[in-house]
Amino acid sequence: MYNLPKEVQEILDKFKTAGYEIYIVGGAVRDLLMKKDIHDWDFTTDAKPEEVLKIFPEGFYNNKFGTVGIPVKNTSEVDVYEITTMRKEGLYTDFRHPKDISWTNKIEEDLSRRDFTVNAMALDSKGNIIDPFNGQEDLQKKLIRAVGDPNKRFQEDALRLIRAIRFATQLNFKIEEVTKNAIAQNVALIKNIAFERIKDELFKILELENSYQGIILLREVGLLQLILLELEKCFGIIQVGPKHARVYDIGEHSLLTLKNTPSPDPLVRLAALLHDVGKPDTAQTQGDGNVTFYGHDVVGGKIVLKIAKRFNLSKAQTEKLYRLVRWHMFTVSEHQTDSAIRRFIKNVGLKNIDNMMALRIGDRLGGGTQRETSWRMEKFKERIKQVLIKPFSISDLKVNGNDVMKELGIKPGPKVGEILQKLFEEVLEDASKNNREYLLNRIKQFAQ
């Protein structure tokens, strides 16, 4: 028997008492066999949705495919466990959803509609593993294999093309040869999937520790050029010049930048992957043979805005991605003025400074440099800290527009803003002047 969480065992017991079959299915069984932590528990049963709701009156319909959500208190939080009636599926006409479904009481029929063998196992209430497609054997061999005919599986739901890559990357498995060939043969089906769904799978890949391996796999099977053609164009263009410690093409450098960027944020990792997408359009070979890419950061910024729109990223996500790509070529110097540092912060965004530093580390290591930082970069970081202590905008002043109007006896108008701007410029030069007494005296002097 497997040591199951109390709340999971209680669900199994309630169905058994009510006279229904109940099984744990999907990734939970796979992870249980691999002795991994399980975060999502999914169940299937021969009980119809309305019968499930009689057992769990607090439940609710989760979708139209016979899934009921069960709120379960787990420690201090409430989780929702999904219980789906076992089903058979009809033809898929949109490469995403079955045209019709029908209920079944045979677990093998339910498992036969699932994507990959390692996800097509079930655990019954007695602790027995139901494994009609040899998922346990594929776990041992570390293989991702489609259930049955891989061409049929991918034609049912074309997003499975990317999910295969994601599972292989997540589990550090290989994709079984017939399944991998079927992916390559069916890549065009991904065009039937909304880019928002593609983005969700791509981000799940980018969240993984070895995400760059997932991007390599996407390229090997031909999916990358359909998902991120802008990145695919970067392969084969060699970076030659004194700034490049090793000779990589832009695509290889982009992959290595992703690999070496120390951030778990998938959006930052996407920026690392796309930071040089402006280079193919700006590449020029000089007389000495060096290849330059002047303005590639500006061009790259415009390109990622189009990618963000295609993936339907939120406004905040779009801005973050744009800033990281557009301003990744910032200059590092120990002698930069406060105004130069402030300009950097304004361009990058205060919230993105750490993200930009992570991207710079990935860019350095991805270019063949052995050390993730330099003494100039460390000085630059110190300068940022020093500048951030000082007032960054007029709103940081110890006086405001009301003080100006009160001291000078004037009404709201341009004059108020002009005086605040002059005060701010003084404080920028000398932060010690940002005290209320001094600034009030300076306001009075403007009346003279």
CATH of domain 235-389: 1.10.3210
User: pLDDT at residue 244 above 70?
Assistant: no
Comparing CA positions, the residue from 378, 394, 388 lying closest to residue 427 is: 394
What pLDDT was estimated at residue 279?
A: 95
pLDDT bin (cut points 50, 70, 90) of residue 63 is low
Looking at domain 142-227, its CATH architecture is Orthogonal Bundle (1.10)
Compute the distance between CA of residue 379 and CA of residue 390 in angstroms, rounded to an integer: 17
| CB-based contacts of 160, cutoff 8 Å, min separation 6 | 115, 146, 153, 154
Tokens representing 325 are 């790509």
Q: Is the pLDDT of residue 246 over 60?
A: no
Strand-pair category, 42-45 with 77-85? parallel
pLDDT-based confidence at 101, cuts 50/70/90? confident
What type of residue is 443? I
* pLDDT (0 to 100) of residue 346: 87
Give the DSSP H or E segment for 44: strand 42-45
Query: How many CB atoms are located within 10 Å of the residue 445 CB?
Result: 8
Between 392 and 118, the more confident residue is: 118
Strand partners, 25: 42, 122
How high does pLDDT run on average in the chain?
90
Strands (E) in 148-246, as ranges, are 174-175
Q: Would you say residue 390 has pLDDT above 90?
A: no
Q: What is the pTM of this model?
A: 0.84
- Amino acid 75: pLDDT: 62
Asked if 352 and 324 touch (Cβ cutoff 8 Å), the reply is yes
Residue ranges covered by each domain of the chain? 6-134, 142-227, 235-389, 394-445
Please, are residues 169 and 209 in contact by the beta-carbon 8 Å criterion? no
**Tokens matching residue 437:** 């007494």
Inform me whether the pLDDT recorded for 410 exceeds 60. Answer: yes
Average pLDDT over residues 293-320: 97
For residue 243, pLDDT over 60 is answered with no
Q: Which CATH number fits domain 6-134: 3.40.50.2030, 2.40.50.140, 3.30.460.10, 3.40.50.300?
A: 3.30.460.10
Output the CA torsion sign for 305, 308, 310, 313: negative
Binned at pLDDT 50, 70 and 90, residue 94 comes out as low
Higher pLDDT, 383 or 177: 177
Q: What is the mean pLDDT of residues 32-53?
A: 92
With a cut of 90, say whether residue 335 has pLDDT above it.
Answer: no
Give mean pLDDT, residues 20-29: 95
What is the pLDDT at residue 76? 59
Is the pLDDT at 180 greater than 90, yes or no? yes
CA distances from 313 to 40, 195, 319, 337 (A): 26, 10, 9, 35
**To which H or E segment does residue 63 belong?**
strand 60-63
pLDDT at 241 over 70: no
